[in-house]
Amino acid sequence: METIYILWLRQIKKYLRSKSRIIGSLGQPVLFMLALGYGLGPIFAKAGQGNYLEFLVPGIICMSIVFTAIFSGLEIIWDRQFGFLKEMLVAPVSRLEIMVGRSLGGATVASIQGLIVLALSFLIGFRIGNLWHLLVAIIFMFMISLLFTLLGTGIACLLKDYNAFQLIVNFLIMPLVFLSGAFFPLDDLPKIFLKVISFNPLTYGVDALRGTLSGLGHFALWNDFSILFIIIIVFTFISSYLFSKIEA
């Protein structure tokens, strides 16, 4: 248990010490919020869909969570390069504990990043119903963070150099974000398109967050929750297996 805690704490400390990383990674979501929010807002309203910002903010939060979470897998590759991976791998603790500690750390960091984006959205007029909604939203943010941290970890276990990781992840993140309904409503979409979107785990994360923060969910909340939960379990097994197989 303490192993999990200390490796979690390690991630948090490293995150809090890298101020430039925190600020740098906020640039993109802020840009998306301003450009899309103000740019597409009037059209959205004209189409009778209401306030676009209210619709968009949960999507942007998810986007920044996905970026941070998947890239926390990259830290395994850094640890390999700087040697700390060996330190963990020869220690008399189970690989599962290491994997869980790291993933919870990465997921916490991604959740914090999501919360910062949420706080920033308040500056441009986003509001949430009440504190209870915020609490549920945090739970969902953590689930999304954990899911994609596990995905990033799994990918990092398969690769040894970080250029390859970046290449694959960039290939993955864009479709994940754009085919999730982060930016547009899922009503009245072409059937095939909707089918593709329904296979994307992020779709349910975005939907859950939108349901709690803005009350604009497409699916039922318990539906989103169970799907996210099942995928997290599956990814935990896959990533643990891959992590148990890596050699330093």
User: How many residues bind to another protein according to rule CB under 8 A?
Assistant: 29
By CB under 8 A, tell whether 226 contacts another protein.
no
Are the C-beta atoms of 143 and 65 separated by less than 8 Å?
no
Shortest gap between Cβ of 174 and another protein (angstroms)? 23
Cβ distance to another protein smaller for residue 188 or 247: 247
Residue 84 interacts with another protein (CB under 8 A)?
A: yes
Closest CA to 29 of 105, 106, 116: 116
Binder to another protein among 27, 48, 92, 190 (CB under 8 A)? 92
Assigned token pair, 153: 């970890």
Tokens of 216: 């604009």
CB of 43 to another protein, least distance (A): 45
Does position 218 interact with another protein (CB under 8 A)? The reply is no
Write down the least CB distance from residue 243 to another protein, Å.
Answer: 13
User: 174 and 70 in contact (C-beta within 8 Å)?
Assistant: no
d(CA 129, CA 133): 7
* Binding status of residue 22 toward another protein by CB under 8 A: no
Q: Is 13 in the site for another protein (CB under 8 A)?
A: yes
171 makes contact with another protein (CB under 8 A): no
Q: Please state, in angstroms and rounded to a whole number, the distance separating the CA atoms of residues 141 and 63.
A: 11
Q: Can residue 83 be called a binding residue for another protein (CB under 8 A)?
A: yes
* Piece of 75-83, 169-177, 182-190, 195-203 that binds another protein (CB under 8 A): 75-83
Could you tell me which of 167, 149, 21, 161 has the C-alpha nearest to residue 77? 161
Residue 161's nearest CA partner among 78, 73, 248, 245 is 78
Is residue 161 a contact residue for another protein (CB under 8 A)?
Answer: yes
Q: 49-53: list long-range contacts, CB under 8 Å, 24+ apart.
A: 49/185, 53/121, 53/124, 53/125, 53/126
Q: Which residues are near another protein by CB under 8 A?
A: 2-3, 6-7, 10, 13-14, 17-18, 79-80, 82-84, 86-94, 160-161, 163-164, 247-248
